[in-house]
Chains A and B, each alone.
Chain A
Amino acid sequence: MTVTVEGTVTAKDASPSKRSRILMKGNEAIAEAAIQAGCDAYFGYPITPQAELLEWMARRMPELGRVFVQAESELGAINMGLGAAATGARVLVSSSSPGFSLMAEAMSYMAGSETPIVVVNVMRGGPGLGSIGPSQSDYFQAVKGHGHGDYKVPVLAPASIGEAVELVATAFELAERYRTPVILLADGILGQAMEPIEPQFRHPPRQVFDWALTGADGRPPRVLRSLHLQPERLEEHNNALQAKFREIAHTEVRWAGEQLDDADLAVVAYGTAARIAHSAVRKARHEGMRVGLFRPITLWPFPEAQLRELASRPTAMLVVELSAGQMVEDVRLAVEGRCPVAFHGRTGGMLPTPDEVLAELRRLAATVRAGGAG
Chain B
Amino acid sequence: MTAAVAPPRVIASRPELLTDRSTHYCPGCGHGIIHRLLAEVLEELELAPRTIAVAPVGCAVFAYDYLQLDWVEAPHGRAPAVATGIRRVRPDSFVLTYQGDGDLAAIGTAEIIHAAGRGELITAIFVNNGIYGMTGGQMAPTTLLGQRTTSTPTGREAGLAGFPIPMTEMLAILPGVVYAARGSVSDPPHIGKTKAMIKRACKAQVDGAGFAIVEILSNCPVGWGMTAPESMEHLSEVEKVYPLGVLVDRSATPRQPSPPGGS
| A residues in contact (CB < 8 Å) with B | 40-41, 43, 61-62, 65-69, 71-73, 75-77, 79-87, 89, 91, 105-106, 109, 113, 213-218, 221-227
**Inside 8 A of A85's CB, which chain B residues have their CB?**
85
A67's partner among B61, B72, B88, B111 (CB-CB below 8 A) is B88
Measured between beta carbons, the chain A residues less than 8 angstroms from B84 are 69, 76, 80, 83
Flag whether B188 is at the interface (Cβ < 8 A): no
Given contacts A75-B111, A82-B74, contact A216 B89 (CB under 8 A): no
Assuming the contacts A215-B51, A216-B49, asked whether A83 and B69 have C-beta atoms less than 8 A apart, the reply is: no
| Cα of A73 to Cα of B112 in the assembled complex, Å | 12
Contact with A along B55-88 (1 / 0, CB 8 A): 1000001001000111111110010011111111
CB-nearest residue of chain A to B49? A217
Top 10 nearest A-B pairs (CB, nearest first) are A83-B85, A217-B49, A84-B85, A83-B82, A80-B85, A79-B81, A72-B114, A79-B78, A67-B261, A215-B50
Q: Are A41 and B261 in contact (CB under 8 A)?
A: yes
- Interchain CB contact under 8 A, A61 and B72: no
**In the bound complex, what is the Cα–Cα distance between A341 and B169 (angstroms)?**
62
User: Quick check: is B244 within 8 A (CB to CB) of the other chain?
Assistant: no
Give the docked Cα–Cα distance between A91 and B94 (Å): 20
**A223 touches which one: B72, B86, B118, B261 (CB < 8 A)?**
B72
Considering the complex, give the chain A residue whose CB is closest to the CB of B92.
A215
CB distance from A209 to the nearest CB of B (A): 12
Is there an interface contact between A221 and B110, defined as CB atoms closer than 8 Å? no
The answer, among A69, A84, A217, A224, for a CB contact under 8 Å with B71, is A224
B104: min CB distance to chain A, Å: 14
CB of B90 within 8 A of CB of A87, answer yes
> Which residue from A41, A79, A91, A226 sits with its C-beta under 8 Å from B111?
A79
Q: Chain B, 179-194, contact with A by CB distance < 8 Å: what is the 0/1 string?
A: 0000000000000000
For A216, give the chain B residue with the smallest CB separation: B70
Expressed in whole angstroms, the Cα–Cα distance for A223 and B69 within the complex equals 8
> Inside 8 A of B118's CB, which chain A residues have their CB?
69
**In the complex, which of the residues B49, B72, B81, B113 contacts A213, with contact meaning CB atoms closer than 8 Å?**
B72
State A105–B77 Cα separation when bound (angstroms).
Answer: 12
- The 29 sampled A-B contact pairs (Cβ below 8 Å) are A69-B84, A69-B85, A69-B88, A71-B114, A72-B81, A75-B110, A75-B111, A76-B110, A79-B81, A82-B72, A82-B74, A83-B54, A83-B81, A84-B85, A84-B89, A87-B86, A87-B90, A91-B89, A106-B75, A109-B75, A214-B93, A215-B48, A216-B48, A217-B49, A221-B69, A221-B70, A221-B71, A223-B70, A225-B55
| Residues of chain B whose beta carbon lies under 8 Å from any beta carbon of chain A | 48-52, 54-55, 61, 64, 68-75, 78, 81-90, 93-94, 110-111, 113-114, 118, 260-261
Known contacts A69-B88, A72-B111, A77-B81, then 13 further A-B pairs from the complex at CB < 8 Å, ordered by chain A residue: A66-B260, A80-B81, A82-B74, A84-B85, A86-B86, A87-B52, A87-B90, A91-B89, A106-B75, A214-B70, A215-B69, A216-B68, A223-B71
Tell me, rounded to whole Å, the shortest Cβ–Cβ distance linking B231 to chain A.
Answer: 25
Within the complex, which residue of B48, B75, B90 is in contact with A79, where a contact is CB–CB below 8 Å? B75
Whether B260 pairs with A86 at a CB distance below 8 angstroms is: no
Shortest CB-to-CB span from A279 to chain B, Å, is 43
Which A residues are in CB contact (< 8 Å) with B85?
Answer: 41, 43, 69, 79-86, 91
Q: Is the CB of A221 within 8 A of B50?
A: no
Task: Chain B residues near A214: list those with CB within 8 A.
Answer: 52, 70, 90, 93
Residues of A within 8 Å of B82, CB to CB, are 79-80, 82-83, 86
Report the nearest A residue to B54, measured CB to CB. A83
Tell me if A73 and B51 are in contact (CB < 8 A): no
Contact at A84–B86, with CB atoms within 8 Å?
yes
CB distance from B62 to the nearest CB of A (A): 8
A residues less than 8 Å from B75 (CB atoms): 79, 82, 105-106, 109
Residue of chain A at shortest CB distance from B117? A72
B73 pairs with A225, CB closer than 8 A: yes
* Shortest distance from the beta carbon of B216 to any chain A beta carbon, whole Å: 23
Residue with the greatest number of chain A CB neighbours at <10 A, chosen from B55, B86, B114: B86
Q: Which of B49, B71, B73, B85 has the most CB of A within 10 A?
A: B85
Q: Which residues from A are CB-within-8-Å of B49? A: 215-218
A39 to chain B, nearest CB (A): 11
Closest to B67 in A: A221
Taking a contact as CB atoms under 8 Å apart, the answer to whether A213 and B260 are in contact is: no
Closest to A62 in B: B260
Name the one of B48, B73, B88, B94 contacting A109, with C-beta atoms under 8 angstroms.
B73
Contact A79 B61 (CB under 8 A): no
Closest to B65 in A: A223
Which residues from chain B contact A79 at a C-beta distance below 8 Å?
74-75, 78, 81-82, 85, 111
Is A65 a contact of B74 with CB atoms below 8 Å?
no
In the complex, A227 Cα to B81 Cα: how many Å?
Answer: 19
Which residues from chain A contact B61 at a C-beta distance below 8 Å? 227
